[in-house]
Amino acid sequence: MSVTTKPVNQKAWFLILPVLLCVAFSAIMPLMTVVNYSVQDIISPTQKVFVGTEWFAAIMRDEELHGALWRQMIFSLAVLAVELPLGILLALSMPAKGWKSSAVLVIVSLSLLIPWNVVGTIWQIFGRADIGLLGAGLQWLGINYSYTGDAVDAWVTVLVMDVWHWTPLVGLLGYAGLRSIPDAYYQAASIDGASKAAVFWYVQLPKMRGVLMIAVLLRFMDSFMIYTEPFVLTGGGPGNSTTFLSQFLTQKAVGQFDLGPAAAFSLIYFLIILLLCFILYNWMQRVGTQAKEGGHE
């Protein structure tokens, strides 16, 4: 008895061909160009010398890189530590139904619609002691505040600016997670006489874990690549207090025109982000699995 197999139509692959071409031109080819520059010394547009891993070794010994990496790690962890609980509180305080819910959603989303360079300009004016509400208000209270002259003030201002800009994203993701919880869970909790804290800890927070995982990954990756807002607000200063990794890379590539070291560092930068996100994602997956297993026991 012969078995006939139905021929498989492979024409569907042509539908994703434009996507593959776009990815090749927008990602793969520029990445290969960076790899090429990272192993060569660009003397002139027509003269290049192969140097192997020399630029990688040199950039790893750079003290300015170590300082920028340290500042970047502290900033990204501070962003998560502040924006995650604030976003959860925002999601819990938003109305669930009716016209108030729609109005609050629009208002909360407003800061996310503002371009990054405009955010930096807004806070640049907002923090000025002569015309800015924040700077003038702090000066009136007797607080000597200057984001252009004091490193701590500059760093805190950049952090608060990022919290103002991106906490609504965490709040909206948390709100979506809350709205996906069936009413039966709340009814069961009400019958058992559970308090609001117990409902949050045993019902809402576990059900929000998926969207919060997305929020953590998005905010960590974005904060680890922050460039425009601190560049517009402080220019990386005073000194190097707000010079993060992306601005350090830009100074190498554009300011000093050291294409070889800049290309080597961009690859290291990419691998650092990839590794940290991989570790963070697997850790959160493990925590979620353990929580589910504990709930079934």
Q: Report yes or no on 43 lying in a domain.
A: no
Q: Report yes or no on 235 lying in a domain.
A: yes
Q: Report yes or no on 18 lying in a domain.
A: no
The parent domain of residue 286 ranges over: 63-296
Q: Report yes or no on 46 lying in a domain.
A: no
Predicted local distance difference test score (pLDDT) of residue 291: 57
User: Do the beta carbons of residue 104 and residue 184 sit within 8 Å?
Assistant: no
Q: Report yes or no on 23 lying in a domain.
A: no
Q: Report yes or no on 255 lying in a domain.
A: yes
Residues 30 and 35: their CA atoms lie apart, in Å, by 9
Q: Report yes or no on 155 lying in a domain.
A: yes
User: Do the beta carbons of residue 260 and residue 42 sit within 8 Å?
Assistant: yes
Report the CATH number that the domain containing residue 242 is assigned in CATH: 1.10.3720.10
Is-above-0.85 flag for pTM? no
Mean pLDDT of each 10-residue bin along the chain, 297 residues long: 64 78 77 82 75 84 86 92 93 84 88 89 89 87 87 91 93 89 86 85 84 87 89 86 87 79 86 84 73 55
Q: Report yes or no on 24 lying in a domain.
A: no
Predicted local distance difference test score (pLDDT) of residue 104: 87
What is the total count of domains within the chain? 1
Predicted local distance difference test score (pLDDT) of residue 88: 92
Name the amino acid, one letter, at 237: G
Count Cβ atoms within 10 A of the Cβ of residue 217 and give its class: 0-12 exposed, 13-18 middle, 19 or more buried: middle
Supply 21's token pair.
Answer: 């071409």
